[in-house]
Structure 1
Amino acid sequence: MNLTPLIQSFVLHFGEMGSHWGINRTVGQMYALLFVSEKPLNADEMAEALGFSRSNISMGLKELVSWRLVKLQHLPGDRREYYSTPDDVWVIFQTLAEERKKREVDPTLTMLRGALLETPSNDADKHAQARMAQMHDLIDLTTSWFSDIQRLDVETLQKLMKLGAQVQKFLELKQKLPAFLGGSESNSDKE
C-alpha cells in the first residue's frame, strides 16, 4: 500500500504531534493512517504502509484499543482483525477527552482530596494545603463543567463552541440589565 503525498504528510505530522500529546510517534502515525483510510485496515496493511514491524503495529493497536479510539471488526470470509476509527470526529473528541480525564485528571483529584483530609502540622503545610485546595476547586469545577458539556448532543455542542466570546458578552449584558431597568439583581442572579 503506497501512501499519497497528501496522506503521507498528514501521517508524518500526526506522528510528530503525538509526542506532544503523550503518545509515541508510531501510535500517532497509525491513528492518522486509520483516520484517513477509506476502509478498515488490518495490521499487515498498516505495517506495509508505514514501514513498521508487525510487533510495533500490534503494540500500537493495543494502545489505541485501550484508549477506545479504534474499532475492531471482522470482515466476512477473513480471519484477520481489521481496525478503523469512528466516523464522527465529535465522537473521537469526546472519547479522547473522557480517556484523558480518566487517566490524568481523576487520579490528580483523588490525590488532592487525600491531601486535603490531612491535618497540617506546620505553617508550610497549611500554605501548601490552601494552594492544593485552590487547585482542587479549579479542577473540580472544570470537571463538572466538562461533564455537563459531555451530555450535550453534537449539534448543541457545535452551536455552543461557535458562540465563543459571545457568551461572555451575553453574561456582561445580563449583569448590566437589572441596573438599566432600574431594578436590583436577585440573589439567584448574583451566583
Structure 2
Amino acid sequence: MKKVIIVNVSPRKGGNSDVITARLAEKANDAEIRTVIFRETPVSPCLACNVCKGKETPFCVQKDVMGELIPELDGCDALVLVSPIYFGRLSGPAMLFIDRLYSIFAPDRETASNATKTGKKLALVSPCGAGPADVYTKYLEETAATFGVAGFTDSRVLVCGGVNAPGEVGEHAEDMEKIDEIAAWI
C-alpha cells in the first residue's frame, strides 16, 4: 500500500486548505494516509545546527512533528503540501516546513541529498483569493522543483484561485475535480 503524507500548513481552521485536505484524504484510494495539520502542533524553525549533516539517512534532532516527519518523508511514496497563497507566496508555515527539509540536504554528496528513496510524488495545492492563477502556478512549479533534493521528482501543482471565503473552494466544481485527479494520481 502506498504511503501518502498530507501536510496542511494553513493557520485558518475550517478554511479552504482544510476542505482541500479532507477531500484529498477521502479520495486517495488504496493509500495509507497520514495527515499533519501544522496549526495543531508546535513546529520550530530549522536551527541550522547541522547535527543532521553527515548522516546516512535524513534525521533532525528537534523533538517536534517535523523531527518525526523527516524519516517518514524519506520513506513515503507521495507528499501533498496544502498551503494558501499569502501576498503572492506560500504561507510562512509552508516556508517553515520547506526550511526543515534542510536535514535531507547533503552538500558532501554528489546528489546533494541523503534521501534513501527517490522518484516520489509531490503535489503542491494552494488556495488563493486573487491574482492570475498562471502566475502562482509558475511559482509553485519552481518551488516543487526544489523538493527534488528530498527525492520528490514527480510533481504536480494546483492553484485554486478566487476563493476568499472560508471553505468556498468546496463550491468550485472545477477545483474539486482537479483535487480528485491529484488524489487519484498520488
Tell which structure's C-alpha radius of gyration is larger.
1
TM-score surpassing 0.5? no
Sort the TM-score into its range (normalised by shorter chain): under 0.3
**Could you say which structure has the greater relative contact order, defined with CA pairs below 8 angstroms and 6 or more residues apart?**
2
Higher helix residue share: 1
TM-score of the two chains, using structure 2 as the length reference: 0.24
Answer 1 or 2: which has greater strand percent.
Answer: 2
